[in-house]
Amino acid sequence: MSVHAGVSATRTPTIADLLATSERPLVSFELFPAKDEVQQRQLWQTIRELESLGPDFVSVTYGASGSTRDRTILATEAIARHTTLRAMAHLTCASQSKDQLRQVIGSYAAAGIRHILAIRGDMPGGPTVPWERHPEGLDNATQLVAMVRQLGDFCVGVAAFPDLHPERHDPDLDARVLVAKAEAGASFAITQLFFTSCNYFDLVARVRALGCDLPIIPGIMPVTKISQITRFAELSGAALPKRVTDRLEAAADEEGVRRVGVDVATELSEELLAGGAPGLHFITMNRSRATREIYARLPQAQRRG
């Protein structure tokens, strides 16, 4: 691999490097930028608790239409500067012009951020709202990947959909789109949250059948409250399976729900790792307890030595 200007031959490995060389599954965490002082304290408490686990990277989300743009940049930069963590910033192209996107990418580069998760993103209102291209924007995530790669020395990740994209509901198209993202310069993918392991393995098989070896990291989000059930459907475009909701609703109290949610996420994680998933990306909602409990039950994913 070539050495770019200003980067030593012993540069910090990228996520792509880790995926290519690690002898164990990667473990990573998703965070979101704080909007006030209370959330800021919670975010940094979570960061410090998760940092102790030695994750391979953390990512910071980017709100609909760039609504958290500045906070995402600041949070990712602060993590990169003040922790030992490898930080990745999300970037969406929904409701933003090409010039706006170039400015954000330039801000990431100036902050020393070298990992970007490039996703189309949803319209304000969520994944069920019909997509509308900004008049001066991009059509899709594939074009965004190409733009990011053209503008800097970035390692780029993309989104994948085990439960099918909520607009298209076409598994073969989902696989072809993922291959197109890889051809545009993506180095890995992270899935949307899901609860059925065979859906993940089916997606991987469809992508491999097209001759693409893009690493696909499963996204895991434990349900810790009954109120999250509807929210899960809004986030992923797919309802929770009945076998999961039945277990959650049978719990006697809030703590019981949390324990069941941890159990379900642990069981899914074990199935995925046993089937050869290259890592696990935990959607933490800026809380660490459930994620740390799941991690403690997965010795095969824990950092060694």
DSSP state of 149: H
Distance CA 127, CA 234 (A): 7
Whether the CB-CB separation of 19 and 278 falls below 8 Å is answered with yes
Residue 113 near residue 89 (C-beta atoms within 8 A): yes
Tell whether the torsion through CA atoms of 176, 179, 185 and 189 is positive or negative: positive
Residue 143 identity (one-letter amino acid): Q
- Contact predicate 118/186, CB 8 Å: yes
H or E element, residue 299? none
Task: At 42, list the tokens.
Answer: 């919670």
Paired tokens of 178: 């993922």
Reading the block at residue 227, the tokens are 């109120």
Calpha distance 36→131 (Å, rounded):
30
H-run or E-run covering 301 = none
Q: How many residues does the chain have?
A: 305
249 belongs to the catalytic site: no
Q: Which of 23, 30, 51, 270 is catalytic?
A: 30
CA atoms of 80 and 88, how far apart (whole Å): 9
Give the active site residues: 30
